[in-house]
Amino acid sequence: MDEGLEVAKERSWREVAAIDAAYERKELDDAGWHEAVAAMIAPAYLTADTVEGGSGSSRDAAGWEYARSLLADAVAPGQTFLDIGCANGLLMESMARWGDIRPYGLEISPELAAVARIRLPRWADRIWVGNAIAWGPPHSFDVVRTHVDYVPVPRRPALVEHLLSYAGRLVIGVFNEERETRWLENEIAALGFAISGRSERPHPHPQLAYRAFWIDAGGGKEQSVAWRSLCERTFLGHPGSPREAGGRRAELPKRQESLRPRLELAGETLRDS
């Protein structure tokens, strides 16, 4: 494993891997996983020296805009836009400027949500506290933005399905990924979600790219609930998820291929992406 590359992708990758490993060993349940992640993230965001740091970025204002503004490719002026994990509200504020959207936010940390409401008083009533995988919105949204790592790996399919229940378009990103691979997009597509668009830009690290992709509601989910469950148990469930502490993302295509005979026996067709 190239630790320098892992740090460039995610500064806290070791801490996240330790939490994931504890979850996979069943030392943490879902609630414990969320508590551990919040205990790691919230203090760092609340004590950050910059507004960008308070929203999870190590970049300055120019770097923030360069990396995050590619999300504007996924929206149209006047649309409602819900930012899952809105932190201090900087992305809400930025997207209103970049994409002329109507911003909303959901944040699991009450303390961070309070900061966002103070920073953005005109939108204070649009910022809610809740866990994205279970939160019930007051209305639907044209666009919802999230990261799939807001939940334990086996819960990713459920998160995507839940968000698509009230989103016209679900955007996943921005995330950092090796330029030569599309492992996250392929992982989500392998679950049967049709990818309808994507955007990316070069990362300062020569091996990485900033990326986002999106799924449109009504675009079709090609696999059954039973197949989704099979995927979760076999290559997304624990133990042995692609984000296991040792880093086994490269195993995903092999595992997907190994499932093909089992899928064919069920009379279904695996979606290649």
E strand map for 139-233: 141-146, 167-178, 197-202, 208-216
For residue range 56-69, what is the model confidence (pLDDT) as tens digits?
999 999 999 999 99
Backbone φ and ψ of 4, nearest 5°: -65, -40
pLDDT at 70: 97
Q: How many Cβ atoms from other residues are within 10 Å of residue 92's Cβ?
A: 26
In the sheet with 208-216, reading across from the earlier edge strand, the strands are 127-129, 102-107, 80-84, 141-146, 167-178, 208-216, 197-202
The pLDDT value recorded for residue 224 is: 36
Q: CA–CA separation, 142 vs 167, rounded Å? A: 6
Phi-psi category of 220—alpha, beta or left, where left has phi over 0 and alpha has psi -120 to 50?
A: left
Q: Hey, what are 104's tokens? A: 């909303």
pLDDT of residue 219: 66
Residue range 12-46, pLDDT digits in tens: 778 999 999 999 999 999 999 999 999 999 999 99
Instruction: Quote the distance between the C-alpha of residue 152 and its chain's center.
Output: 11
What phi and psi, each to the nearest 5 degrees, are found at residue 22? -65, -40
Task: Tell me the C-alpha distance between 88 and 141, whole Å.
Answer: 20
Angle at CA of residue 151, ends 180 and 193, nearest 5°: 55
pLDDT digits (tens, 9 = 90+) for 228-263: 444 444 334 433 333 333 333 333 333 333 333 333
Nearest to 81 by CA among 18, 209, 89, 111: 89
d(CA 217, CA 166): 9
Span between the terminal Cα atoms of the chain, in Å: 26
Query: How does the average pLDDT of the chain come out, rounded?
Result: 82
Domains and CATH numbers, the chain: 3-265 (3.40.50.150)
Task: Give the pLDDT score at 221.
Answer: 55
Q: What are the tokens at 1?
A: 């494993």
100-147 pLDDT tens trace: 999 999 999 999 999 999 999 999 999 999 999 999 999 999 999 999
Neighbour count for residue 85 (Cβ, 10 Å):
20
What is the pLDDT at residue 218?
82
Tokens of 58: 């190590």
- Pairing mode of beta strands 167-178, 208-216: antiparallel
Distance CA 153, CA 238 (A): 8
Cis, bond preceding 174 (omega within 30 deg of 0)? yes
Query: How confident is the model at residue 272, as a pLDDT?
Result: 30
pLDDT digits (tens, 9 = 90+) for 172-219: 999 999 999 999 999 999 999 999 999 999 999 999 999 999 999 986
pLDDT of residue 74: 98
Cα 68 to Cα 41, 56, 123, 165, 227: the distances in Å are 19, 11, 20, 25, 34
Q: How many CB atoms lie within 10 A of CB 131?
A: 16
Distance in angstroms (rounded) separating the CA atoms of residues 251 and 235: 9
Question: In the structure encoding, which two tokens stand for residue 9, read together?
Answer: 């992708």
Task: Output the pTM of the full model.
Answer: 0.79
